[in-house]
Amino acid sequence: MKRNLLAASIALSVITLVGCSEKEPELTTPIQQASYGIGLNMGQSLLQDGLDDIDTQALALGMEDALSGTEARVEEADLMAAFAELQTRAEERATNLNTETLEANTAFLAENAEREGVITTESGLQYEVIESGAADGAQPQASDVVSVHYEGKLTDGTVFDSSLSRGEPVDLPVGGVIPGWVEALQMMRVGDKWKVTVPSDLAYGAGSPSPIIPANSILVFEMELLGIQQDEE
């Protein structure tokens, strides 16, 4: 793990130092609030990286030595070796978490597929019809731009995006969205409203566009196709 992790980790000691003092500092001035915010953000980042067992006393000591200009108590080579060990441990945790997530995804999709009205396509995409438009309604092609109202959730019900809450549908290119949407939109007709369950490999996979969406997440959308406008290109 690179040396700069130490700088990031030190910010967490702000919280530690608060806990060690006889009286909690006030958080009224911009400097106090900004200092608290730095510590809070870095602490949350460390937790997300799986570093939930940081030795806060050693962390506070490192902070104190850095601010006072005291010579480091641990040799550079030992620090680098320690960071490397943390990196290895973090990678192992990430691998285990990904395995657990993928196993949970398999179970969720299998159970969801058994629900009445759910259709599973060859790719693994699952959908169910909530409302149907006209039987002869237009269907988008990959080159089209469509107008859609939608709400996206994680499997635990957490809403991560919603045009409904914003009160305005979105116009988007069919070929420029996640694979699960590309497939679903080309099966829908104008006026259709579907609930679409997108497996992680048809969504963002191991990546994520937002901290709200964990890696390998299944995404569940309620989406309504409002209209099609031919892409002029």
What are the pLDDT tens digits along the chain (233 aa)?
A: 444 444 444 444 444 444 445 567 788 899 888 888 877 887 787 777 777 777 878 877 887 888 898 998 999 999 999 989 888 888 888 788 888 989 999 999 999 999 999 999 999 999 999 999 999 999 999 999 999 999 999 999 999 999 999 999 999 999 999 999 999 999 999 999 999 999 999 999 988 888 889 889 999 999 999 999 864 44
Q: Does 96 fall in a domain?
A: no
Tell me, yes or no, whether 69 and 143 share the same domain. Answer: no
Q: Are strands 126-131 and 193-198 parallel, antiparallel or unpaired?
A: antiparallel
Helix axes 13-20 and 30-48, enclosed angle (nearest 10):
120
Tell me, yes or no, whether 42 and 115 share the same domain. Answer: no
Q: Does 82 fall in a domain?
A: no
Rounded Cα gap, residues 127 and 112, in angstroms: 10
Tell me, yes or no, whether 210 and 118 share the same domain. Answer: yes
Tell me, yes or no, whether 16 and 61 share the same domain. Answer: yes
Q: Residues 107, 122: contact at Cβ < 8 Å?
A: no
In sequence order, the 6+-apart residues with CB closer than 8 A to the CB of 123 are 179, 183, 202
Tell me, yes or no, whether 134 and 42 share the same domain. Answer: no
3-state secondary structure of 118: coil
Q: Does 78 fall in a domain?
A: no
Q: Residues 220, 196: contact at Cβ < 8 Å?
A: yes
Rounded Cα gap, residues 138 and 115, in angstroms: 28
Q: Does 100 fall in a domain?
A: no
> Which residues does the annotation mark as catalytic?
150, 160-161, 178, 204, 221
Tell me, yes or no, whether 114 and 197 share the same domain. Answer: yes
Tell me, yes or no, whether 114 and 65 share the same domain. Answer: no
Q: Residues 228, 146: contact at Cβ < 8 Å?
A: yes
Tell me, yes or no, whether 127 and 221 share the same domain. Answer: yes
Amino acid at 84: A
- Domain count for the chain, please give it: 2
Instruction: State pTM to two decimals.
Output: 0.69
Q: Does 85 fall in a domain?
A: no
Q: Tokens 């031919």 correspond to what residue?
A: 230
Domain's final residue, options 46, 73, 100: 73
CATH number of the domain to which 169 belongs: 3.10.50.40
Tell me, yes or no, whether 134 and 194 share the same domain. Answer: yes
Q: Does 95 fall in a domain?
A: no
Residue-number span of the structural domain to which 149 is assigned? 109-229
